[in-house]
Amino acid sequence: MRLILLAGFLGSGKTTILLPMAGALIEQSSKVVIIENEMGEIGIDGSYLAREGLQVQELFGGCICCTLSVGLVESIDKIEGLYHPEVIVVEATGIARPGDLKKTIFQYNKCIEKIDTVTVVDAQRYEVLRHALAPLFEAQIDAADIVVLNKIDTIDGQAVRDISTDIGLINPDAKLHTVSMDESSGFEALLRDVL
């Protein structure tokens, strides 16, 4: 079974990307289940995705890369047993370290054969977050197979190039996509890579 791990800091646009991405996977006839993790005690995004018709398992009140890691492992096993999906998409909290998540899943969930990590980065707040939360920010980019620089409509072309260079220095192996979900630009190319 394939697992897509959607990571990236709070407010970067993970849920906004997840909705059409899951839709495209379903259109490809893939059986898809979403695991939605939220730090807060109340699930907000999970109910939004469920209302859009997606199969969603919520884990809230903690982060799946540490306090809820057991819950994640159990959820994947449970989903595998109940639904036999072809793809599980895990939307991590904005403070999760995807590298830790990958290790945990590969160690305990033998049904997962492949993990693709997609890290979403907020172009609008890049400079602020890059400096204020450097260790977490870099860890999220460093663990990615694909980095999505989202909200590029909020900055100019030179800033997009500067940020792209910086991301390349943190993770030279990741494929970078620059997108604006608000303006529907760049998403199709991202989708081709993810699918």
Partner 1 sequence: MTHEHTYETASAFAGQRHLSFLEPMPIANIKEAISNLVLELTRALEVQGCTIIGHIKGRVDAGSSGSLFFNTTQFAVAPRFRGELQEPVLRAELAINIIVYGVTEAQIDRAFENSLRLILVVP
Where on the chain is the footprint of partner 1 (CB under 8 A)? 9-11, 38-42, 44-45, 47-48, 51, 63, 65-66, 69, 94-95, 97, 100, 104, 122, 125, 128-129, 132-133, 135-136
Toward partner 1, which CB reaches closer, 87 or 137? 137
Closest distance of CB 172 from partner 1, Å? 23
Contact yes or no for 164/150 (Cβ under 8 A): no
Closest distance of CB 194 from partner 1, Å? 22
Closest distance of CB 32 from partner 1, Å? 21
Toward partner 1, which CB reaches closer, 81 or 135? 135
Question: Which amino acid belongs to residue 194?
Answer: V
Toward partner 1, which CB reaches closer, 82 or 132? 132
DSSP 8-class letter at 148 = E
3-state secondary structure of 64: coil
Question: Which amino acid belongs to residue 125?
Answer: R
Closest distance of CB 42 from partner 1, Å? 5
23: nearest Cα among 111, 119, 87: 87
- Helix, strand, coil percent content, the chain, rounded in steps of 5: 45, 20, 35
3-state secondary structure of 153: helix
Toward partner 1, which CB reaches closer, 15 or 171? 15
